[in-house]
Amino acid sequence: MINTTINNMNQIRKCLVGVVQMCSTHNKKQNMEFILQNLKQAHEKQAKICFLPEAFAMISRSFAETFENAEYVDGEMINCLRDHAKKYNLWLSLGGFQERLKENDKKMGNTHIIIDNLGNIVQTYKKLHLFDIKIDTKNTISESSGYVFGDQIPNVVDSPAGRLGLSICYDLRFPELFRILAVQQNAEILLVPSAFFKKTGQAHWHTLLKARAIENQCFVIAAAQAGQHNDKRESFGHSLVIDPWGEVLLDMGPEKLGIDFVEIDLEKIDTIRKGLPAINHIRNDIYKLSKI
């Protein structure tokens, strides 16, 4: 792929990316209109890649309702997004698509899809860690009752912004996945599209995302759901872009809905790793986290 070559040759190291923060509801059509407006803006800004949060397609009151409206990967919604990726010359990270599965008629996949600027699906990843929690009455959910568990670590994807390592939302709490993506697969940008709960977000969101950026010396991009989706569900917002030093380059706050743009400069990874080569100090010999 041309982009890979360019990145490997260290020529183009800077890339403008768009991060979409949204408040999806059960209304798929409205959610889609909102997304397309933002993609148009990304095109006008000449951004090269756009990041959408988990559950961009819809957030309903129950998984049963979500399931009713879930589509296959080759359905209308993804086809429409593929057409727009091509039309707008824009890569897309679709951070968590409620995927109707041909092999399972009871549960969906929670699938992160990467589409290139020609409209091709270049990677899919099914969420490995599902959010089954009982914190209090408001914060109780069993994601695994609606979704199948993913069973594969996704390969990194070369994009115009850099090499992408994919995850989804609750995966954020499992640093092993990010270590594998960053150290074994040389990811440069770790993606954590999310629909974080308000309570857990307030307590943990910034800290965990900064930690993933700092410990792996990678960029972190986390497009998020924000606000009240229905009477049962509220999301924390604060879509973030963090650099490999842990500096927050973008924080969209709790309320803003729309798109913001950030320049990703991959040079920063080299500079930071040269000065503080923690990645090279990993004791592979002791705990066998080998580079491949």
Ligand X SMILES: O=C(O)CNC(=O)[C@H](CS)NC(=O)CCC(=O)C(=O)O
Q: Residue 169 interacts with ligand X (CB under 6 A)?
A: yes
Contact assessment for residue 71 and residue 78, using Cβ atoms and an 8 Å cutoff? yes
CA angle 202, 228, 252 (to 5 degrees): 55
Residues 99 to 128 in contact with ligand X, rule: CB under 6 A = 110
User: What is the DSSP pairing of strand 49-52 with strand 91-101?
Assistant: parallel
Q: Does the annotation mark 169 as catalytic?
A: yes
Contact assessment for residue 215 and residue 245, using Cβ atoms and an 8 Å cutoff? no
Q: Does the annotation mark 86 as catalytic?
A: no
Interface with ligand X (CB under 6 A), residue from 15, 55, 90, 94: 55
Beta partners for 160? none
Q: Which stretch binds ligand X (CB under 6 A): 112-120, 175-183, 195-203, 241-249?
A: 195-203
Within the chain, how many helices (H) and strands (E) appear? 8, 16
Q: Which residue is nearest to ligand X (CB)?
A: 200
Residues 217 to 276 in contact with ligand X, rule: CB under 6 A = none
Closest distance to ligand X from the beta carbon of 80 (Å)? 19
For ligand X, the closer CB: 21 or 110: 110
Locate the DSSP E strands across the chain. Answer: 14-21, 49-52, 91-101, 104-115, 121-126, 132-134, 140-142, 157-159, 162-166, 189-191, 219-222, 226-228, 234-236, 240-242, 248-251, 258-265
Q: Residue 54 interacts with ligand X (CB under 6 A)?
A: yes
Site for ligand X (CB under 6 A): how many residues?
17
Of 247, 245, 228, the residue nearest 237 (C-alpha): 228
Q: For tokens 């965990």, what's the residue?
A: 208
Q: Residue 178 interacts with ligand X (CB under 6 A)?
A: no
Q: Residue 131 interacts with ligand X (CB under 6 A)?
A: yes
Closest distance to ligand X from the beta carbon of 200 (Å)? 3
Closest distance to ligand X from the beta carbon of 220 (Å)? 15
Q: Among all residues, which ones are annotated catalytic?
A: 54, 127, 169
Binding site for ligand X (CB under 6 A): 54-55, 59, 66, 96, 98, 110, 131, 141, 143, 169-170, 173, 195-197, 200
